[in-house]
Every structure is written in C-alpha cells, then in structure tokens.
Structure 1
Amino acid sequence: MHSIQIRNYVLGTLLACSGAYAFAAEPSQPSEQVVVPEVARRDIKLPRFPSSDFEIGTFVGTYSTQNFGASAVGGLRLGYHVTEDFFVEGVVAQTKVSDASYRQVLPGGVFPSETETLSYYNLSVGYNILPGEVFIGSKHAKPFSLYVIGGVGSTQINDQRKATFNFGSGMRVYLSDRWALQIDARDHIFSLDLLGKNQSTQNLELTVGITASF
C-alpha cells in the first residue's frame, strides 16, 4: 500500500513538470494592434428630383353663352395633383360675346357695344375616375384618365361680376412623362341681368389643350 502511494506521487509530479515545461516552451503570440481608420467627414447633399405634381397649360375651344351664341375661348390652367385620384385646378379665360341678334329687334342692342368681353376665373376640385391606357394605332399605348370636376369662381361681362359655379368632365392623354393632351367639357352657371331681368344662365364650354408637368 505504501509503495502504491509513492508511485502515484511520483507520476503526478512528473506530469505536472512536463505540463509546466510545455507551457513555458510554447512561444508567446504578439498582441495585435487594432487599427482604427480615420475617415474624413463629408457633408452629403441629397439630389433634388423634379416633381411632376404640378402642371400648367393652355387651351382653346368654344364657349356657348346662353342667349348670345357660341364664340371662341382661350385660357390658361394651373393644376396640382394632391394624390393619384384628387387634383385641384385654377383657370383663367376669356371670350367675346355679341348681341348682334338682339340688335335686329332692339335698337341699340343689349350691350353698349355690339361685342363685349366675357372673362372668368375659377378654382375647381377634380377626381380621376377611370385611369387606363388608350391605344394610338396598333402598337402604341398611352396612359390616360377620365375625370369629373367642379368648383366655384367669378364671371365678368358688361360691367357685371357674377359668382359662378362650374361642373363637368374631361380626359387626359399623357403623350410623355411631361406633356399631356387635355379635353374638357364644362358648364358654367351664373346669373345675368339682361333688360332689367335677372336670370340664371347655363353656359357650355368645350376645350382642348396641352399641359406640361413639373
């Protein structure tokens, strides 16, 4: 029993010495230095992409003034697309109104001169009801949208300025990312004092124009 204990003691001592020798013989690894790169800070300016929510355009067409007949009309429009469905539009335009038919039965006619200028402006809200594509020929398709529109404004004729309501519908055909063809039909409703009688008039307008988005 005593000899076994001595043997175990000797073996343990030899193992401990050999482990210490191996640890001492193992070469030490040099510590790696962490390199932190120095990056110069730069102020980055984000690019400004053009917006196509606004559009401006011109139009011509015909304006039929109740009791006075139709005449050519021209004007400008400025629009803003609030969403893909809703947009607002401001319009200014003018036309000529003739009382030649009245002068055949009434000496002096209705207006001080035979031809008077009718001008109007309005602000309207539109809603795109049917976006889609229209085919031009058999190979070319262009985006288009049908819309309904209505608003309020003012009409001036014969030194009278009258509040005006308008409503109608139209169509846009997008010829490119910037240009569009716009066809519009509108009814302008305002009261007019003629020969001492105030009456509500409905005045139909049909126009075609070009708009540019920006």
Structure 2
Amino acid sequence: METRTRYFLLKVIIASAFALAIVATPEDALAQSEREPPLIEPDVEPQPVEQALVDSENFEVAAVAGWLNIEDFGSSFMYGGRLTYNISESFFVEAGLGFAEAEDTSFERLAGDVQLLPDDDRDYRWYNLNLGYRLLPGEAFFPGGYVFNTNFYLTAGAGATDFAGDNRFTINYGAGYQMLFTDSLSAHINVRQHLFDSDILGEDKTFVNTEVSAAISVFF
C-alpha cells in the first residue's frame, strides 16, 4: 500500500513539473531572447531617397538656344523661348518662338559681290503651336548617388516663318529629352525639323531646316 502511494505521488510530481515547464517556456524564451544580443547584427541603415518630380503646377516656361541649319543658307545661332501647358503626365501643349539670321549661300560666297537677299531679309523668325507626348519616362543615374527623373518625348505642330520678306506656313516635328533636376527646374535637348515651301532661290521647293537646341525650363 505504501509503495502504491509513493508511486502515485511521484507521478503527480512529474506531471506537475512537466506542466510548469510547458507554461513557463514561452515567457522564459522571450526573456532570454531579450537579454541575449542577436548572432548577426545588420549593418545596413535605410537612406532617405529624394527624387525630382514634375511640379504640381501645370505651366512651364523655357529659354532656348542652339543652332538652326537653314537650307541653302548655312547654320546659324538661334535663340528663343517656349511656354508649355502640361495637360497630363503624358500630353502637353507648347507655344514656341525663335530667332536666327541666315548666312550667305554657297553661290554668294563663290560669286563674290552677288547678294541674293539684303541684310534685312536675312532675319529668320518662327512661331508655332505644338502638341507633345511623353513616350519613355525613366531615370538618369550619376556618380555620388544622384538620380534624376527623365522624359523622352515627341512633338509636332504648325505655325509660320518670317524669312526673305515673306511669311510662310510652317510645320514642324521632332523629339526631345528632358531631365528634371528639382521639382521645378529641368533641362531639355531637342532636335526638330521645320518645313515650308518657298521660291527664294527662283523655283518652288520645300525647305527643310533642322534645329538642334538646348533649353532650361521652370515650372510655375
């Protein structure tokens, strides 16, 4: 009888100890994990990233400068300005104005004193209204961890050109690349073709004049 009693008490003690261990294990493990440092400490600190985005304002004004190749009249320095209204993230409307001065033709240079156009008629001025579409938005990476948003876009439109004492209907088309330095300042590189019909050289022909220019623009 005494043996059975001892055996019963031993079973009760073992069961109690086992139950206590089960109950205590999660808390003990948590306390131990808080006391002990992790085996591997990460050495990576999150860095804040600031990207230049298009300003919430819809208007953009740009100062433009570059070169204009006037067919048969050489390449000339050009300058002008553009005013852009951003309809959406993809589409925009642009009004442009530009100035240049035509050089001598190859015939004039070879003939000497012969002048096809007086100096006053060599002033070249154009203005147009274009529709643009941003085709490939992306990013440009520079040393030092600098990242700038970019846009590749297409543009086309119509306007007029004042040249050689006459005003001519002109169409233009081209492409551009924009880089946003801040949320209100960006730079552009453009290549465009300006086409108009004229008989300046004695016969009707379509003049194809190529513009290569750069611009700095500000959103407002």
TM-score (norm. length: structure 1) = 0.73
Q: Distance in 2 between matches of 1:133 and 1:51?
A: 19
Cα deviation per residue 1:150-197 (whole Å; 9 max; x = unaligned)? 000100111111100000000110010100001111000011212331
* 1:98 lines up with 2:97 in the alignment: no
Matched-pair contact (CA < 8 Å) for 2:174–2:192: yes
Q: Distance in 1 between matches of 2:56 and 2:174?
A: 27
Unmatched 5+ stretches in structure 1: 1-49
Equivalent residue for 1:81, pick from 78, 86, 106: 86
Q: Distance in 2 between matches of 1:193 and 1:181?
A: 37
Larger Cα Rg: Structure 1 or Structure 2? 1
1:101 Cα deviation after fit: 2.8
Residue in 2 aligned with 1:34? none
1:107 Cα deviation after fit: 4.8
Residue in 2 aligned with 1:119? 125
Equivalent residue for 1:172, pick from 162, 174, 178: 178
- Provide closer, same or farther for how the CA distance between residues 114 and 83 of structure 1 changes in structure 2, counting only shifts above 3 A: closer
Residue in 1 aligned with 2:41? none
Matched-pair contact (CA < 8 Å) for 1:187–1:202: yes
* 1:144 lines up with 2:154 in the alignment: no
For 2:102, the aligned partner's letter is V
Cα deviation per residue 1:23-64 (whole Å; 9 max; x = unaligned)? xxxxxxxxxxxxxxxxxxxxxxxxxxx842100010100000
- Provide closer, same or farther for how the CA distance between residues 183 and 102 of structure 1 changes in structure 2, counting only shifts above 3 A: same
Unmatched 5+ stretches in structure 2: 1-54
* Aligned-residue RMSD, C-alpha: 1.7
Q: Distance in 2 between matches of 1:141 and 1:203?
A: 35
Residue in 2 aligned with 1:213? 219
SS at match of 1:67: coil
SS at match of 2:107: helix
For 1:93, the aligned partner's letter is G
Q: Distance in 2 between matches of 1:120 and 1:138?
A: 41
TM-score (norm. length: structure 2) = 0.71
Bigger fraction of residues in helix: 2
For 1:86, the aligned partner's letter is F
* 1:204 lines up with 2:210 in the alignment: yes
Q: Distance in 2 between matches of 1:193 and 1:111?
A: 13
For 1:200, the aligned partner's letter is T
> Across the two proteins, how many residue pairs are aligned to each other?
165
Matched-pair contact (CA < 8 Å) for 2:121–2:164: no
Structure 1 residue runs of 4 or more that deviate by more than 6 Å after TM superposition: none
Bigger fraction of residues in strand: 1
